[in-house]
Amino acid sequence: MLLKEVILENFMSYEYARIPLKPGLNLICGPNGAGKSSILLAISVALGQAYTERSRKLSDLIRWGKDIARVTLFFDNSPKGGKRPLPKYDTDTFQLSRYLKRDGTYWYEAENRSITKEDVMKLLSEFGINSDNMLIIMHQNMVEEFSITSPQQKLKMLEDAVGFQPYRQKILEAQEKLTRLLSEEASISHFLENAEQTLTYWKEEYARYLRKKELLEKKAFLEKELAWAQVIKQEKIADAWKTKIQRKTNELTRMTKELEETRDKVKNLQDKLKNLQFNQKKLFYSLLEAEKLKTEAEVTNTILTRVLSNIGSDEDTLKKLNLKIQSYLKEASFQLELSNAKKYEAEDKIQGIQSKLGETEEEANSTLEQYLKERVKEALLVFQKEKLEDEIAELKSELKETEKELSLITSAAEKIGPRVETQRNPLEVSEEIKITNAHLMSLGEVSEDTEKMYVNYSNMYTELKQKAAIVAENRKRALKEIEDRKQTWKRVLQDLLDKVNPVYQKILSKIEATGRVRLVNTEDIETAGLELLVGFRGAAPTVLDAYTQSGGERSAATMAFLLALQQHVKSPIRAIDEFDVHMDPRNREVISQLLISAVQDNEVQHIAITPSQITQLGKEVHVITVQNIQGKSETKVVTKTAK
């Protein structure tokens, strides 16, 4: 996109001027003070060049006595290859204006519509037009300034001019990314260190929390075990009472049975004794009867014996008695014999009764003795039974109390938890509870949020470690990316210099000089630079600076570099003011001819300003002359080739 025309209104020494421009070389000539440099300054102002805004106030650029100035640029926007350079604007000529006011304000218009400076810069950058790059637009005295510009700045200008700035930008972006990653890595490392310390604290607290939780669970179990140990102990006591009661009950049953048997024996013995007493009484009466009979027999015998004796002693008398009395005597003898027989019988009976009576008495005594023994046994059994019944009643009372207490402690235990079978006694469990409580006291207070805090910090620490690993990997990739981009950047720059150097050296040879262009400090893009080396008239090439070479030599070397670079510059518009400053006539002529021959491309537009007269101009050179007439600059296009 080339300039077709520039219109200046109330700009510096111009009241109104229209300056047509052509593709190729546009040479602006005229004496010093005519207003040549103002044209390039006006173009720069319209392009938003920072140089003009830093060097002087914009309000100072307004013509004396006027309040507003305007610079208007007309760009060729005609279709090329079926497409306009600025497709947004459907016109063959694109108009860009900048207005300046005395109060310091300004604004831009594109096709008579307001537009921001940022939009202007963005629009121009699409075509590689950077008005701040002195390799594209080099104002008056900038040829000298370029020679003393730092190598770093020279390199940046070169990159921007040839369109390599994206390579640098990519490296800077990668370095910025690396810086962010390093910052992030340091931040994460710091956070990780703090998180590790915090996690260590919470890990210890969590260990205490788990230990306390374990002890609390143990204590809860022990308390449950204690409650049920007391229940089990009480159950054992109740079982012991039941066992005793059962044993006593069994003993009572046995004793009751024995008592019943004893009572039966007593009754039987009593009945037997009664029978024996009855029989004894009966025998006694029988004995009395027998004794009576014996006595009666004895009395009868005595009487009969006396009678018979008396009768026998007086036998003579008897003989005198009659036979009847004899008969009575026989009867008496018979009765005596009978009485004796009865006596003997009675005696035998008495003896038999006495024998039976003795046996009966003996049996009665034995039975009585056995009876008394059984009665004593009965009384003892009754006493023992009553005592046993009392004991059973007492045991049942104890059992009742025990079961009552068992019911209470069982109810309490059930509230604590389900039954726990344990062989330990309550005292043993209580001792362990005391030990557990002591351990709990030694742990002190532990926050209920400990587990939550530990888990949170553990997750945070894990996330930070993962982030740290990711960032470290990203850092490695970023370093590799930087290195890869640096290598690409160095390669394209070196390839460029490999093309520029032969041309640069060829141009230098025409002005009796040698030299080369080189890159320095390419390992660090911030310190990397571009150096121009030049040596005149057989001198060894040295770095171009403000001290070693003369002013003319610096101008010639700078122009040689610019000319060698031309075919690589991206911007379609390029300008230089006083390119031949301080040059001797020979070098001025050589450089001028080289400039003319270097800008034959109609796709590129060069604007060169010089106060000098240039001979041997070709017809393709568009010459504009500038004169100052009565304080007002005027321009004129030279229609024929200068001689």
Q: Which three-class secondary structure string do you get for 53-74? A: HHHCCHHHHECCCCCEEEEEEE
- Mean residue pLDDT across the chain: 86
Is the pLDDT score of 390 beyond 90? yes
Q: Taking residues 503-520, what's their average pLDDT? A: 92
Confidence of residue 642 (pLDDT cuts 50, 70, 90): very low
Stretch 539-546: mean pLDDT, rounded? 90
Q: What share of the chain is helix, strand, coil (3-state, %, to 5)?
A: 65, 15, 20
CA–CA separation, 129 and 153 (whole Å): 18
Q: Which pLDDT value is given to residue 96?
A: 95
| pLDDT beyond 60 at 567 | yes
Tokens of 176: 């910025």
Give the residue extent of every domain in the chain.
183-426
* Average pLDDT for 324-348: 76
How much is the pLDDT for 323? 59
Q: Which helix (H) or strand (E) holds 178?
A: helix 165-313
Q: Which stretch of DSSP H or E encloses residue 587?
A: helix 585-598
Please indicate whether residue 600 or residue 189 has the higher confidence score (pLDDT): 189
Region 96-125 average pLDDT:
92
Torsion of CA 574, 578, 583, 589, to 10 degrees: 60
**SS3 category, 546:** coil
| Virtual torsion, Cα 602, 603, 607, 608, nearest 10 deg | -60
Cα 441 from Cα 47, distance rounded (Å)? 82
Average pLDDT, integer, range 479-494: 94
d(CA 42, CA 186): 50
- Selecting from 3.40.50.2300, 2.30.40.10, 3.30.360.10, 1.10.287.2610, what CATH number does the domain 183-426 have? 1.10.287.2610
Q: Which residues contact 507 (CB under 8 A, 6 or more apart)?
A: 560, 563, 564, 594
Q: What is the mean pLDDT of residues 520-548?
A: 91
Q: What is the mean pLDDT of residues 550-563?
A: 87
pLDDT at 314 (0 to 100): 58
Rounded to the nearest angstrom, the gap between the alpha carbon of residue 546 and the centroid of all alpha carbons in its chain is: 64
The answer, yes or no, to whether residue 328 has pLDDT greater than 70, is no
Does 550 have pLDDT greater than 50? yes
Tell which wins on pLDDT, 124 or 346.
Answer: 124
User: Among the listed ranges 53-67, 306-320, 330-344, which one has the minimum average pLDDT value?
Assistant: 306-320
Q: Tell me, what's the pLDDT at 587?
A: 80
pTM: 0.63
Q: CA 256 to CA 252: how far, in whole Å?
A: 6
Mean pLDDT of 588-592: 78
Residue 54 has pLDDT above 60, yes or no: no
Q: Which of 636, 635, 598, 587 is nearest to 620 (CA)?
A: 598
What confidence score (pLDDT) does residue 541 get?
93
pLDDT tier at 319 (50, 70, 90 boundaries)? low
475 pLDDT more than 50 = yes
Instruction: Report the sign of the C-alpha dihedral through residues 334, 337, 343, 349, in that order.
Output: negative
Q: Is 226 helix (H, G, I), strand (E, B) or coil?
A: helix
Query: Contact, 109 vs 115, CB < 8 A?
Result: yes
Span 570-583, average pLDDT: 81
Give me the percent of the chain exceeding a pLDDT of 70.
Answer: 93
**Which has the minimum average pLDDT: 44-48, 517-521, 608-612?**
608-612
**3-class state of residue 82 by DSSP:** coil
Check residues 630 and 600 and name the one with the higher pLDDT: 630
Neighbours of 44 (CB within 10 A): 20
- Determine contact, residues 624/638, Cβ cutoff 8 Å: yes
- The whole-angstrom separation of Cα 359 and Cα 513 is 182
Neighbours of 22 (CB within 10 A): 17
pLDDT greater at residue 339 or residue 634: 634
Greater confidence (492 vs 281) lies with 492
Q: Confidence class of residue 615 from pLDDT cuts 50, 70 and 90?
A: low
Strand order in the sheet with 106-110: 14-20, 3-11, 68-76, 93-101, 106-110, 113-115
Query: Among 126-135, 266-275, 298-307, whose mean pLDDT is lowest?
Result: 298-307
What is the gyration radius of the CA atoms in the chain, in angstroms? 77
Is residue 205's pLDDT more than 70? yes
Q: What is the pLDDT of residue 641?
A: 45
